[in-house]
Structure formats: structure tokens, C-alpha cells
Amino acid sequence: MPHTPTLRRSRVDRTRSRNNIYHPQHNTMSTTPPTLPTRLAEIKEDFLALSAADRLQYLLEFSQNLPPLPEQYTDHPDLLERVEECQSPVFIVPEIINGTVHLHATAPAEAPTTRGFAAILVDGLTGLTVAEALEVPADYPQSLGLAAAVSPLRVRGMTGILTRVRRRLRELEATPE
């Protein structure tokens, strides 16, 4: 019987590990809190706590949780932006509502890794202020430890999604209402 990972660690485990952060590339411990927004930091910690095979499974679980597009976008696909960096057809639309980011995305079920990347960003960016979303490091997708589980081209696709979201948020922020 295949091993099903326990993919959600308790809030206590995350808090405990957040206070003592291990930096494998430097083989050191740090008490510096992460600069990522809370939800993105939790997602990153959860990925890094898993083996490569379990990380892929966790990504696939995210793909099953991508929320459907709101009706106003389902009826008007011309309002969505295609993410050309993705091999699969991924479309996004970030919004700023009362100073808060709301990200919507769609990706085909036949592209679960790409769909999972979109779901991570929808989950992690929605609810942030524009300033918080713009401060998310451009290399966040590479920090999830997925290089051994998916192709670099797929990871670049997630980077493309994040880059386009950040660009669009800057445009929206600069446009008077």
C-alpha cells in the first residue's frame, strides 16, 4: 500500500519550526522570522518538510483545491490574462478590492502541476495587501523544493504566474479608480 503523507502539520509544529529555522545551504540555524506572508511561509514549510515524492503529491492536492472562477469571469474570458510562460493554458485575473488582493486563476484539470502552482498562489496571495503581495520574492516558486519532483520548465511557469500577478497589481495600483 503506498504511503500517504500527512501533509498538514499542526499550527504548533509550524510555530515551533518557525522560531528555529534551519538553512540547509549554510548548515546553520537562525531565529530570524521569515519575511514571507504567513500563508506562503506555511506552504513553503509544509513542502520542505516532505520528501520529493511527497512534495509532488502535495502539489497535486493543491491542484484539486483551485477555486472556480467567479461568474463575472466565467462569462467573460476576455478579461483573463494568459500566462504564456506556462506550457498549459493558465489564465489569471488579479483584483484589488478595498486594498486587498484577490487572485483568480484557471488551469485545466489535465495539467495538475500547473493547476497546483496556480492554486498555491491563489491561496497565498489572496487577502494580502498590495504591498505584501509585491514583496513576495520572485524566486518563491524555486524555494518550494520542487526541482526534483517537476521539470524546471514547470517551475518557471509558476514564476511566470507570480511575475504577471505582480506586474498587474502594479498597473492596477497606478490606475486611479
Q: What is the pLDDT of residues 63-102, one digit of tens each?
A: 999 999 999 998 888 899 999 998 899 999 999 999 999 9
Closest listed residue to residue 117, CA positions, set 86, 96, 138: 86
Spans of all domains in the chain: 11-174
* Cell numbers linked to 67: 477555486
Whether CATH 3.40.47.10 fits 11-174: no
> What's the length of the chain?
177
How many helices (H) and strands (E) are present in the chain, helices listed first? 7, 5
Closest listed residue to residue 160, CA positions, set 88, 64, 56, 52: 88
Q: What tens digit of pLDDT does each residue of 120-139 get?
A: 999 999 999 999 999 999 99
Q: What is the pLDDT of residue 177?
A: 62
Average pLDDT over residues 137-153: 90
